[in-house]
Amino acid sequence: MVGDVILDEPDADSFFVPSRERLARGDIVIGHIEVPHTARGSAQSTDIPAPPADPKNLQAFYNAGFRMATLAGNHINDSGAAGIEDTVATLRALGIVTTGAGSNLDEAKAPAILERNGTRVGLLSYNCVGPRESWATSDKAGCAYVKVLTHYELDYAAPGGPPTIYTFAAQESLEAMCAEVQALRARCDIAVVALHKGMGHTPAQIVMYERSVAKAAIDAGADVVIGHHAHILRGIEIYRGKPIYHGLGNFVTVTKALSTLQTDSPERLAWALRREKLFGFKPDPTMPTYPFHPESRNTIIARCAVTAQGLLEAGFIPCYIDQQARPQPLQAHNGGQAVVDYVARISAAAGLAIRLEWIDDWVAVRQA
């Protein structure tokens, strides 16, 4: 399993070259498609709309070994219903099962199920970050979602001072997700829930709602929870013996859309400049197709060994995104330990108690 994938540059296959062999070892490989892939539609969102990518680029996603895709995210509706329709249709024509977006809410909530070696793996995908325009309804295209509320409280005597921020899932929305996870669990051997969540471009931080929603998914029957959206790694925890990857970070995320030097959109340029002030980072100017936090070059491939009887082992393959914006799987002797140390550091900073141990060319995650 990997995090955000954006294929908005020519020769998309080339960005998977270093990771293709390692991904091919997975019986099932899951990734998150971040933007619509369409030649139709028009901008729908006022919340930093992402440009659509060429549908032909999704062939590279298939060529890299991906057979399941999550789609519930803040950008999937940026080109409207046509963008969602074309993205889903292209992926499915390639033989990739999808979940998280569709022409209505029922379609968006329908799980993806794939069987390998007698084990049925089910997948659900939810957007926890908005915007509201991205949400599907009974007669509107969009994504499945969990509604998250934000409460600002000034709890000391200083009008105008910085508030304490509380975030939590709306009860009805959380209960709906849990019911859907329970229903999926009855149809498969292993249930995976993907949550588009978190504070973007901010190292280590896991905000209040994230752990409670992830744990609710496991309480409802999920065996694995994966997160994405922040475009930077988050920590990992083990809850009730099940792994929660709070943010898998970027994988292949190539786009000039947020490059302050090369974007052709005044709205995206304004957001790219504001983002630098809000989150306190500047992308590497020598990597115009990778306009993200320098620390986000640390990334991972989540690895879970499972059977029909349940989860055997959770872990990851450490990776580093090279100067050509390509994720490079690493081992202990060639830079992998630095990524492992980074995962340990951000997990500890978020209060997550785990122990990491190299096993051959991957790293096991265990409760400390």
Mean pLDDT of 214-221: 98
pLDDT of residue 272: 84
Q: What is the mean pLDDT of residues 196-213?
A: 97
Percentage of residues in the chain having pLDDT higher than 70: 97
Domain that holds residue 24: 4-367
* pLDDT band, residue 244 (cuts 50/70/90): very high
Residues of the chain with pLDDT > 90: what percent? 88
- pLDDT at position 41 is 67
Burial class (CB in 10 A: 0-12, 13-18, 19+), 228: buried
Query: Where residue 81 falls among pLDDT bands split at 50, 70, 90?
Result: very high
pLDDT band at 43 (very low <50, low <70, confident <90, very high): low
CB atoms under 10 Å from CB of 147, counted, come to 17
Evaluate whether 127 touches 196 at the Cβ level (below 8 Å): yes
Q: How far apart are CA 338 and CA 120, in angstroms?
A: 35
Q: Which has the closest alpha carbon to 86: 60, 127, 58?
A: 58
Residue 44: pLDDT band (50, 70, 90) is low
Give the separation between CA 333 and CA 137, rounded to whole angstroms: 50
Amino acid at 246: H
Q: How many residues does the chain have?
A: 368
pLDDT in tens, 304-336: 999 878 877 999 999 999 999 999 999 999 999
- The reported pTM is 0.96
Question: Is there a contact between 363 and 316 (Cβ–Cβ < 8 Å)?
Answer: yes
- The pLDDT, as a whole number, for residue 258 is 78
**Residues whose CB falls within 8 Å of the CB of residue 76, separated by 6 or more in sequence, listed in order:** 33, 34, 35, 36, 83, 84, 87, 100, 101, 127, 134, 142, 143
- Over the chain, what is the mean pLDDT? 95
Structure-token pair, residue 266: 């005044």
The predicted model gives 221-227 an average pLDDT of 97
Instruction: Give the pLDDT confidence score for residue 45 in this predicted structure.
Output: 59
Domains of the chain: total: 1
**Any idea what the CATH number is for the domain that residue 360 is in?**
3.60.21.10
